[in-house]
Structures are given as structure tokens and as C-alpha cells.
Amino acid sequence: MRNNQVTEQLSISQAPSEKPEALKSILEVVRYLEGLDKYRVKQATVYRHRDQGKLRPQSDGTFLVKDVERYAGTFLKLKDGSGGLKMRPASPAVADDKAAAEARKVSAQAEHWEIKTRILKGEYVERSAFEAALARRAAVFKSDIENFIRSSSAEMIKLVSGDDLKAPDVIEYMLEASERWLARYSEDAHHELPESIDAGRLEKIEA
């Protein structure tokens, strides 16, 4: 009887433990991987990998052991430091694109600083100053037209004496007047350039 009990105990102790097919939670996944004593396992890392989709649960929330082992072999390092997924070097095409993008960036920066330097030297007229000058000249042009209409009506009536045949004379008269207006409007104008531009306004120009 005693021999039978000893034999039964030995057979139980020597029987291999059954490998589960699925693990109920991410915490069980961590414990399972720790039990393998093969990988460098950190609970925070496994949780993060789950959130990143590197380890996906089944529809019922469990994790298949085969998926867990495949995940560990792909993304976790062994205790000796080897293994783990490494980033592949960029392909030549990607490297060329990055180099071209960097070249464009350098060129744009150089152009930006060149314009900034010319602004500080006073070689540019600010848009607001330029538009203000145009507005003043347009006001002069408009004033000439209105003054002509108001002051020349009597002269025009006298010129034609109510005679339709004298219409060409009226047209010539008005064309000569318009030439004078355009001459005033198109004459060279002198713009005063600012001696310096304060930092706040220069920041707006840069933007």
C-alpha cells in the first residue's frame, strides 16, 4: 500500500503542467511572460504595447497564449539584451526626400534672412505706407475730375452754343483735360523710407 502511494506521488510531481490556451487579462499576460523567465518584462511596457495594438485581445477580452508568445518574440528583448523589434534604416528614396526637404528649408531660411536684412536697411517700403500713398494720389485724381465738372460746365455750353455739330470740339476739350489729370496722377512720387523698423513691426513682417 505504501509503495503504491509513493508511486502515485512521484507520477503527480513528474507530470508536466498544462499550458493554458488563453489568459484572462493583461495582468495574467505579464505574469505568464515573467514565468517563462526568458524575456525582460515590465508591466508598463506590456500595457503600453497593448494600447499601441502590438498585442491584441480576443473579442471576449482574453489573450491567446500563442499570440502572447508571438508578441514577446517580436517586441520584447531577451534577458541577455538581444532580440526585440528594431527600426529598419530608411530606404534611399526616403533619405533623398528628407535631404531635399532639408535643402528647401535651408533655402527658405536664407531667403527669409535676406529679406529681413533688406528691410532693416530701408530697401523696402511697407505695404501700409505704399497703399496710403496710392490712396492720396487717387484722391487728387478724383478731386481734379470733380473740380473740372463743376467749374467747366458753363464753358462747355458756351463752346458748343447748343450746336450738336460742335460735339467733336467738346470731346477734344475733355480729352485734353483728361491728359492733364493723368499727367498729375502718374507723376513720380517720392516716398519717405523709415530710418528703422521697431522689433514689434518687424515680427509682423516676418509672420
**pLDDT 10s digit of each residue in the chain, 207 long?**
445 554 445 444 444 457 788 999 999 999 999 998 889 999 999 999 999 888 999 999 999 999 999 999 888 988 887 766 654 455 566 666 777 888 888 888 888 888 788 777 777 777 788 788 888 887 887 788 777 767 776 677 777 677 767 767 777 777 788 778 777 766 665 555 555 445 455 455 444
Query: Is 98 part of a structural domain of the chain?
Result: no
How many domains does one find in the chain? 1
- Own/partner pairs, 19-22, CB within 8 angstroms, 24+ separation: 19/65, 20/65, 21/64, 21/65, 22/58, 22/62, 22/63, 22/64, 22/65
**Has residue 1 been placed in a domain?**
no
Cell of 167: 460735339
In a domain, 144, yes or no: yes
Contact present, 65 and 21 (Cβ < 8 Å): yes
Q: Is residue 66 part of a domain?
A: no
Task: Give residue 169's domain range.
Answer: 126-190
In a domain, 133, yes or no: yes
Q: Which helix (H) or strand (E) holds 9?
A: helix 2-14
Residues in the chain: 207
pTM of the complete model: 0.35
200 within a domain of the structure (yes/no) = no
